[in-house]
Structure 1
Amino acid sequence: MPESGTPELTIQTVRSIGGINADDWRAFSGTDNPFLRHDFLLSLEESGCTTAATGWTPSHLMFYLDGQLAGVAPAYLKTHSMGEYVFDWAWAEAYQRYGMDYYPKLLIAVPFTPCQGPRLLLSEQLREWITPERIHQALDSASENLGAHSWHLLFPDAADQQTLGMEEELHRIGCQFHWQNHSYDSFDDFLAVLTSRKRKSIRKERRQVADQGISFRHFSGKNTPDHVLSAFYVFYQATYLKRGQRPYLNREFFFQLRERQPEQLHIVMAVRDEQMIAGALFLHGTDTLYGRYWGCLEEFEHLHFETCYYQGIELAIQQALTRFDAGAQGEHKLVRGFEPVITHSWHGVLHPGFREAIARFTREEAEHVMAYTEDALDALPFRQVGPDQ
């Protein structure tokens, strides 16, 4: 029971985003981040991408403070670790070796989306009242109530970092590469801050793409024709099929995305001999461009870099966006002007023995990630320490 005069925090779970009123969700999420919109999560569910059958049972969190709705969070009960981009396969294998169940686990994240952003969508009142101890205890209890053995909150923003931050808790870091727009007026303006060698290399790559007879067409929102979306989906699924995997998303999802979030959708298609040969899909918020999905059927020299990165940089400059997040993976981005960024995740492991072992792992991993990030900073291709200096 809560102490006298102390507000009571409770968490309820909902098995479909449709069970939460869209206006209620929007009051906490806003509309800037495309992945946190009620529309985006609903499209994932209604298209069949996030269901119990795919191992993504929706279990969205609703936070109540003294009985009043004070926050929400996208969450799923997972029976595998695919589509997360914070890898815990070794943890699951360790559980298995000791004859214990690692799954199900509670995942607080946006499916298939390794992009930083808010995850705990809380009211100002709850954010001010909550402490790291309280939120960790609440998420532990929510996991137990769902029959999960752990919870995992992936890619939080700075506000969530502050809310979650406890030294003794399980905290992992990673490194991604994001492009920063230092008030560039054009692509050439960006190239001007690179070393001569890197500047010449990028210009050569772009020229070689053009010399192969490849040009680019841009489509936005509801003006994107059906045949373009269909062609893009063929390219997208080919990326997975080449690796022997089934794609996470289906054709219906992309059509729903166009209908529900047209103002945030942008597709770049590569064209050769009047035929579309590759494509990349971007989403954007007020200040950030997100490069999300890409695919091609036939390989062409430097086509991936041009379609996914250089076209994205030009788009970010044209729209005066301050940042371009091209997703996970990365050293090939570093030499093209993308800067290292530390990403975070928080984990609640209910078994005390495994919790202690995983804590040691995360501390050792963090040392390696920080060393890698420092090396990456030294390898940036700018003429000076940074474009603004």
Structure 2
Amino acid sequence: MVHAPKTQYSVTWIRHIEEVPQPDWDALAMPLNTPFLEWAWLHNMERSGSAVANAGWLPTHLTVWRDRQLVGAAPLYLKGHSYGEFVFDHQWADLAGRLGLSYYPKLLGMSPFTPAEGYRFLTAPDEDEATITEVMVAAIDEFCDRNHICGAHFLYVDPQWQQLMENLGFHKWLHHSYIWQNQGFQSFDDYLAMFNANQRRNIKRERKSVDKAGLEMRAIAGEAVTRHLCRRMYDFYSDTCDKFGWWGSKYLSRKFFTLLHHDYRHRMVFFAAYGEDDSDPVGMSFCLTKGDRLYGRYWGSTMDFNNLHFNACYYAPIEWAIANGITSF
């Protein structure tokens, strides 16, 4: 157990992120690379009913204050299952059961339903991060001990923050992820140059197949994102999840996508395919951007078009990333 240093800090647990004013929370979250720890994203998760107690995600956020100033925060959730994490720890739950331990509920740190690297505690830039982290870990230890919670888990963490947590006694569990990195490309043709001739020919053929199907790919970002497109994105997302039945991982509500238009469209990029009906896309992917990062999230289409998935989810985003100075996707 980590013992909190004797400082002027006070710790408060909250059940709703709206208990903290958005400017206070975002003063800590905005400097980070990830967009998934910002107040609006997390608030929309709660407000839409997507990440709430009834869904098995009980918000149990930790905040640290110095006088009346927020200097530390951690989005945390009490969970009675492992759905929506995309880390399959059921073998650990099974082992705990054999040992007579209660694996659930567990305390989880991540942005709900978002397997994207970048989770960490939020710390005010003028505070000592190591000290704030020790205060928060000590509070988590005490909370888990007092409430008979077997463990605290942090998923998809920032690599630098990971080392800080390992120094405090946490153990890492490594998983794979696939990230495109811009190696100084100035155009999509520059990117293609890294492949051999057969690979370049295949990619060009796959991109042309969308044109031959009578489809036009468009990137729609920021203020150009309409409320109608947000509603359509939910339809695409829902339909894609339904195709996989019980394994479809449909955790987000329609309201979540609608709320994003109000206060988060500045982070959004849709890659939409339009056919003869210029008013409505036949397929679309949903990405988020912040700084020099682009994050792919969801996709769907009204019907199967040859290679549309690869164009909407890979080729078009990579082309947009190169044109907009994105370094990783």
TM over 0.5: yes
Change (3 A) 1:194 1:52: same
Code of the residue aligned with 1:276 in structure 2: it is P
Report the Cα distance in structure 1 between the residues aligned to 2:192 and 2:152, rounded to whole angstroms: 43
Q: After superposition, give the CA deviation of every residue in 1:290-349 in whole Å (9 maximum; x if it has no partner).
A: 11111124222222111101111011112111111xxxxxxxxxxxxxxxxxxxxxxxxx
Partner residue, 1:27: 27
**SS class of match (2:291):** coil
Paired residue type of 2:74: A
Partner in structure 2 of residue 292 of structure 1: 297
SS in 2 for 1:248: coil
Q: Is the 8 A contact 2:267 2:290 kept in 1?
A: yes
1:39-50 aligned within 5 A: 39-50=40-51
Q: Which deviates further from its counterpart, 280-289 or 295-304?
A: 295-304
Structure 1 counterpart SS, 2:172: strand
How do 1:60-209 residues align onto structure 2 when only pairs under 5 Å count? 60-64=61-65, 69-98=70-99, 100-123=101-124, 124-129=126-131, 136-166=137-167, 169-209=170-210
Whole-angstrom distance in 2 between the partners of 1:280 and 1:253: 16
Measured in 1, the distance between the counterparts of 2:48 and 2:36 equals 15
Matching residue of 1:255:
258
Q: Distance in 2 between matches of 1:224 and 1:68?
A: 35
Query: Contact 2:121 / 2:133 at 8 angstroms: preserved in 1?
Result: no
Shift in CA distance, 126/12, structure 1 to aligned 2, threshold 3 Å:
farther
How far 1:137 moved relative to its partner?
4.2
Could you give the per-residue CA deviations for residues 346-371 of structure 1, whole angstroms, max 9, x where no partner exists? xxxxxxxxxxxxxxxxxxxxxxxxxx
Say if 1:65 and 1:126, in contact at 8 Å, map to a contact too.
no
Is contact 1:26-1:37 (8 Å) kept? Answer: yes
User: What CA distance in whole angstroms lies between the structure 2 residues aligned with 1:122 and 1:65?
Assistant: 12
CA RMSD of aligned residues (A): 2.6
Asked if 1 retains the 8 angstrom alpha-carbon contact of 2:233 and 2:257, the reply is no
Q: CA offset at residue 208 of structure 1?
A: 2.1
Instruction: Provide the rounded CA distance (Å) in 1 between the counterparts of 2:93 and 2:75.
Output: 23
Once residues 225 and 137 of structure 2 are traced to their aligned partners in structure 1, the CA distance between those partners, rounded to angstroms, is 44
The share of aligned pairs that are identical, in percent, is: 35
Contact 2:119/2:155, CA 8 A, preserved across alignment: no
Q: After superposing the two structures, state which structure 1 stretch, 162-171 or 204-213, moved more.
A: 162-171
> By how many angstroms is 1:136 displaced?
4.6
Q: Which residue of 1 aligns with 2:271?
A: 268
Instruction: List alignment gaps of at least 5 residues for structure 2.
Output: none
- Which structure has more RCO (C-alpha within 8 Å, separation ≥ 6)? 1
> How far did 1:265 drift?
1.0
**Preserved CA contact (<8 Å) 1:102 1:149:** yes
Distance 2:68 2:261 in 1: 37
Q: Does 1:313 align with 2:318?
A: yes
In 2, Cα distance between the equivalents of 1:68 and 1:264? Answer: 27
Structure 1 residues 166 and 303: alpha-carbon distance in aligned structure 2, compared to 1, 3 A threshold = same
Aligned counterparts, 1:7-22, within 5 A = 7=7, 11-22=11-22
Q: Deviations over 1:262-311 (max 9, x none)?
A: 21111122223325321111110011011111112422222211110111
The CA deviation at 1:164 is 0.8
1:169 to 1:44, Cα distance in 2 relative to 1, 3 A? closer
Structure-2 change in CA distance of 1:101 and 1:232 (3 Å) = same
Residues 1:223 and 2:228 aligned together: no
Question: Where in structure 1 are there 5+ consecutive unaligned residues?
Answer: 325-389
- Structure 2 residue matching 1:34: 3-state secondary structure: coil
Compute the TM-score of the two structures, normalised by the length of structure 2.
Answer: 0.88
- 1:131-176 C-alpha deviation (Å, 9 max, x unpaired): 77x7654432232344422111111213312321239632111111
Displacement of 1:62 in angstroms is: 0.8
| Matched length | 322
2: distance between equivalents of 1:70 and 1:156?
Answer: 20
Instruction: Work out the CA distance in 2 between the residues paired with 1:65 and 1:156.
Output: 25
More strand per residue: 1 or 2?
A: 1
Distance 1:169 1:119, change over 3 A: closer
CA contact (8 A) 2:287 2:294 kept: yes
> How far apart are residue 204 of structure 1 and its match?
1.7
SS of equivalent to 1:174: coil
